[in-house]
Amino acid sequence: MVQGLDTRAISIYSPILEELSLVEDRLHDLANTSIPELEPLLDHALSHGGKRVRPALTLLAASIIPTETDNPVKMATGVELLHLATLIHDDTVDDADTRRGRASVSGRWGKEVAVLLGDYLFATSATLVCDTGNLRVVRRFAETIMELASGELIEYFNTFNPQQEMERYYDRIYRKTASLFRTTSETGAVLSGADEDQIQALSRYGYNIGMAFQVVDDLLDILGDESELGKPVGNDLKQGILTLPTILLLQRYPEDNPIPLLFKEPGNTCYLERALEMTRNSSIIPDCFTVIREYCDKAISDLESLPRAESRDSLESMATYVRERSR
């Protein structure tokens, strides 16, 4: 059974709860290796306890066209494992000693181990995807890792750069987040034998929900409270990362804007506070809500051409859920 899901998630996942628990079992089984050095690391990394949104998307997309194979379960396990591997490398890059209140791999075993364990899990996830026997999904999976890594690199090289175009922001969050969301639902469709139009519809659905998901994250960093986020408010700006609300702040207040000052003097909490307050008290917040709503509406309309199915309703509820997360 999947631990730690709230009732809303259980209700959305209901058409695929059985398959999702098979994913959980497979993740758990991966910790049983013949290499004693790896066991404690894998135990720690695989009992991450997230909401399993990504494998759920793969399984929901796959079950719109009913299929007899367990390929969607293999793919969903690969997708979640890839996500866990990226978290391990992200924590290494960001020097984050904790994640969700637990020690991160790099915090507990050091960066050396985190780099190598991440590599090991990336490769393990790829072998799971190979086991589907479908080269198209394997290639899409490898491209996704390229997009994830390049998104993080682009972000890194643009930290503390106050001049960033909106187009580049959207490209960056596609790479960082929406690429993997796109892959979850697209590959679910491919593996269930959906036709090309259906595959493209579910690919767009994943893209749109992934974009919405990241904009919500970026907005919560301005609005959210620390206990909910698990990290301090304004963390992005503090790390020199511009997001939708702060790029809008720069565009709308070209004069006397605290962000360029903060980027010149990182750690100056006065500038940080002023930037956060100006963003919160402007039309930027409702405008960000509009962007989120538009992505979620597009995701919902992407589903229209698909056959009616309980899992299609779940994908629609997922889009509603993402939209409401930011309220």
Neighbours of 9 (CB within 10 A): 19
Stretch that binds its own copies, among 4-12, 62-70, 118-126, 266-274 (CB under 8 A): 118-126
Q: Which is nearer to its own copies, 98 or 159 (CB)?
A: 159
Cα torsion 190, 195, 199, 205: sign: negative
Q: Any contact of residue 118 with its own copies (CB under 8 A)?
A: yes
Cα torsion 63, 68, 69, 70: sign: positive
Is 226:188 a contact under the CB 8 Å cutoff? no
Stretch that binds its own copies, among 20-28, 138-146, 182-190, 289-297 (CB under 8 A): 138-146
Binding test (CB under 8 A) with its own copies, winner from 17, 31, 113, 285: 113
Stretch that binds its own copies, among 136-144, 239-247, 251-259, 286-294 (CB under 8 A): 136-144
Q: Any contact of residue 220 with its own copies (CB under 8 A)?
A: no
Q: Any contact of residue 130 with its own copies (CB under 8 A)?
A: yes
Q: Any contact of residue 116 with its own copies (CB under 8 A)?
A: yes
Stretch that binds its own copies, among 64-72, 109-117, 245-253, 312-320 (CB under 8 A): 109-117
Strands (E), the chain: 98-99, 102-103
Using DSSP, state whether 132 is helix, strand or coil: coil
- What is the Cα–Cα distance from 78 to 130, expressed in whole angstroms? 9
Q: To 10 degrees, what angle do helices 244-252 and 269-280 make?
A: 90
Q: Any contact of residue 57 with its own copies (CB under 8 A)?
A: no
Is 20:52 a contact under the CB 8 Å cutoff? yes
Compute the least distance from the CB of residue 262 to its own copies, in Å. 21
Query: Which residue type occupies 165?
Result: E
Neighbours of 196 (CB within 10 A): 9
Burial 257-286 (b: 16+ CB within 10 A, else e): bbbbbbbeeeeeeebbebbbebbeeeebbe
Compute the least distance from the CB of residue 144 to its own copies, in Å. 8
Compute the least distance from the CB of residue 122 to its own copies, in Å. 7
Compose the 8-47 pattern: x for residues touching its own copies by CB under 8 A, - for all others: ---------------------------x-xx--x------
- Give the DSSP H/E element, type plus range, for residue 327: none
Compose the 146-185 pattern: x for residues touching its own copies by CB under 8 A, - for all others: x-xxx-xxx-xxx---------------------------
Q: Which two tokens stand for residue 270?
A: 């006065």
Q: Which is nearer to its own copies, 63 or 92 (CB)?
A: 92
Q: Which is nearer to its own copies, 112 or 197 (CB)?
A: 112
**Helix intervals (H) in 14-70:** 17-30, 39-46, 53-62
Q: Which of 12, 38, 153, 186 lies closest to 86 in space, CA to CA? A: 153
Q: Any contact of residue 120 with its own copies (CB under 8 A)?
A: yes
> 269 φ, ψ to 5°?
-70, -25
Stretch that binds its own copies, among 52-60, 68-76, 106-114, 229-237 (CB under 8 A): 106-114
Footprint of its own copies (CB under 8 A): 35, 37-38, 41, 89, 92-93, 111-113, 115-120, 122-124, 126-127, 130-131, 133, 135, 138-139, 142-146, 148-150, 152-154, 156-158
